[in-house]
Amino acid sequence: MSKSRIVLALLVSVIITAAVTAQGMRGGTPVAPGQECPPGTTEVRPGTCQAPSEPAPSILDYRPRTTLVTAEHKVPKAKFPAIDVHGHPGNLTTADAIDKIIAVMDSLNLKVMLVAENVSGARLTSTLAAINASPYKERFRVLAGVDFRNVGPDWGAKAAAQLEADLKAGAIGVGEVGKQFGLRTTKPDGSRLKVDDPQLDPLWEAFARLDVPAFIHTAEPQEFFQPQDFKNERWLELSLFADRRNNQPGQVAFEQLITERNNVFRKHPKTRFVAAHFGWHANDLARASKMLDEFPNVTIEAGAILYDLGRQPRAAREFFIKYADRIMFGKDSFQPNEYPYYWRVFETADEYFDYYRDYHAFWKLYGMSLPDEVLKKVYYKTALKVFKGLPQTGWPQ
Ligand SMILES: [Zn+2]
C-alpha cells in the first residue's frame, strides 16, 4: 500500500469513528451490504455491528416479559367434544389408571381417546380387557401395533395375520407406527428398512382389505436432519435430546424418507393412511396441500406441530378450512396442561401468547379462530369417518 493510501485509509477510519461516537456508539464492526454481523454483535446502524456492553444472556436465560396488552381468552375445555386420535396415555391396564385419565379427559372435554401405543398381542388384549371392564369403555378405542423387526420374504403374510388377529381382539386400526420405522429399524442383513420396502406390501394391502387405517409417523421435523448450528431453529431441542439428532453421517435424509413414504401412499391407493404430525409438513403448508391433493387416501393429524400452526395463523386457518375433512386433532405426549394451548390456537383470535415448550419454539403463538363447522370436523367428524370403529353416536351434529 502506498503512503498516500495509508493516510487516506486512516483519515476515513477517523471520520467514521468520529461519526459513530457522535451518535453515542462505541465504535463497531463494519459489514458489507448483505453480510452478517460477526458472532456476539448485532447491526446497530446499516453496515455497522456492535457488541452489547454487558455479557449477553444465553437463549435459556433471556425471558423478556411482554408489555403487549391484548385480550386473553384461555380455553381450558374444548368448545366441542373432541377425539384425541394420537393418545399416549401410558399403561391403561388398571382401573385406577383409567379413572385418572377419565378425570383429565372430562376436564378438557375430550370425549374419546384413541390409544396409539402401537401394541400387539398380549399387551393389546390386556389393555382392551381393562377398558372393557371399566365403566368407560366408550371413552377409549385402541390401535394395534406392527413389529417391523426381521422383515423378510414371509414377513408380510405374518404381519397381515397378526393385524387380523389384533382387529378381532378389538383394535380399530394400527398406530402409531413409530418414527424408528424408516429412520433406524434395520433388516436382518443390517441395512435400513426402507419405508417403501416391497416386502411390506402384503401388510399395506391387508389394511385395504380389512378397511382400517394405518397411522404412521414418518421422518421428524426437518431441522432434526440439518447441522446443529446457530441457524437451526431446533438447536436447543437437538442439544437437549441427543436421540433427535438425525443429522449424523450416514443417516437417512428427510427428503429420502418423504420420498419413500409418498411411494407407499402412491403404490397403495386403496389403503387409508394417517400421516402423524401433519406428515411433518406443518412448516410448509403448500407442501402439505400438495400431499393431500396427490393422495386422496391420506389424512393428517395435528399432534406436536402446534408451534407451526400458531406462527402462521392466517395461512393455517385457510388450510384448515380447505382441508377440514382431512385433518384430525391429536395431541401425542399426554400432558393434561398442554391440551388447552391447542384449544386456544384453534378457537380464539388471541395474539402473541406463550407456547408450552421453549425448546420446540421460542416464538409466540396466535389464534386461528376456526369456524365452528371446521372445529367440529377437526375435533371429531373427520376422525369418525377415518376410524370407523370409533363410537359413532352421541356427537353434536
Ligand atoms: Zn409421533
CA 390 to chain centre: 23
179-200 pLDDT, tens per residue?
A: 999 999 999 999 999 999 999 9
What pLDDT, on the 0 to 100 scale, is given for residue 2?
Answer: 52
Give the separation between CA 112 and CA 394, rounded to whole angstroms: 12
What backbone phi and psi angles, to 5 degrees, belong to 220? -155, 175
For ligand 1, the distance from its centroid to the CA atom of residue 214, given in whole angstroms, is: 13
For ligand 1, the distance from its centroid to the CA atom of residue 372, given in whole angstroms, is: 27
Q: Sorting pLDDT into bands at 50, 70 and 90, what band is 139? A: very high
Q: Sorting pLDDT into bands at 50, 70 and 90, what band is 14? A: very low
For ligand 1, the distance from its centroid to the CA atom of residue 255, given in whole angstroms, is: 18
Give the separation between CA 274 and CA 224, rounded to whole angstroms: 22
For ligand 1, the distance from its centroid to the CA atom of residue 273, given in whole angstroms, is: 14
What pLDDT, on the 0 to 100 scale, is given for residue 280?
Answer: 98
Q: Express as a percent the part of the chain with pLDDT over 70.
A: 93
Give the separation between CA 390 and CA 386, rounded to whole angstroms: 9
Residues with Cβ within 8 Å of residue 4, at least 6 apart in sequence: none
CA distance to 19, 291, 354, 381, per residue, from 44 (Å): 14, 43, 28, 52
Q: Express as a percent the part of the chain with pLDDT over 90.
A: 90
Of residues 272, 300, 270, the one with CA closest to residue 287: 300
Return the CATH superfamily for domain 82-386: Metal-dependent hydrolases (3.20.20.140)
Q: Sorting pLDDT into bands at 50, 70 and 90, what band is 10? A: very low
326-365 pLDDT, tens per residue?
A: 999 999 999 999 999 999 999 999 999 999 988 888 899 9
Indicate the range of 88-97, 144-153, 171-180 predicted with least confidence: 88-97
Give the separation between CA 87 and CA 107, rounded to whole angstroms: 16
Residue 24 predicted with pLDDT over 50 = no
Give the other-Cβ count within 10 Å of 14's Cβ: 10
Sign of the CA dihedral with 196 first, then 201, 206, and 211 last: positive
CA distance to 122, 137, 206, per residue, from 145 (Å): 11, 20, 14
pTM, rounded to two decimals: 0.92
What backbone phi and psi angles, to 5 degrees, belong to 343? -60, -40
For ligand 1, the distance from its centroid to the CA atom of residue 350, given in whole angstroms, is: 28
Give the separation between CA 245 and CA 224, rounded to whole angstroms: 6
Sign of the CA dihedral with 223 first, then 226, 232, and 238 last: positive
Q: Sorting pLDDT into bands at 50, 70 and 90, what band is 259? A: very high
For ligand 1, the distance from its centroid to the CA atom of residue 17, given in whole angstroms, is: 55
What pLDDT, on the 0 to 100 scale, is given for residue 20?
Answer: 44
Contact 269, 297 (CB under 8 A): yes
What pLDDT, on the 0 to 100 scale, is given for residue 93?
Answer: 87
CA distance to 67, 253, 292, per residue, from 208 (Å): 54, 29, 18
For ligand 1, the distance from its centroid to the CA atom of residue 318, given in whole angstroms, is: 25
Grid cell listed for 1: 500500500
Q: Average pLDDT of 48-65?
A: 94
Q: Average pLDDT of 109-118?
A: 97
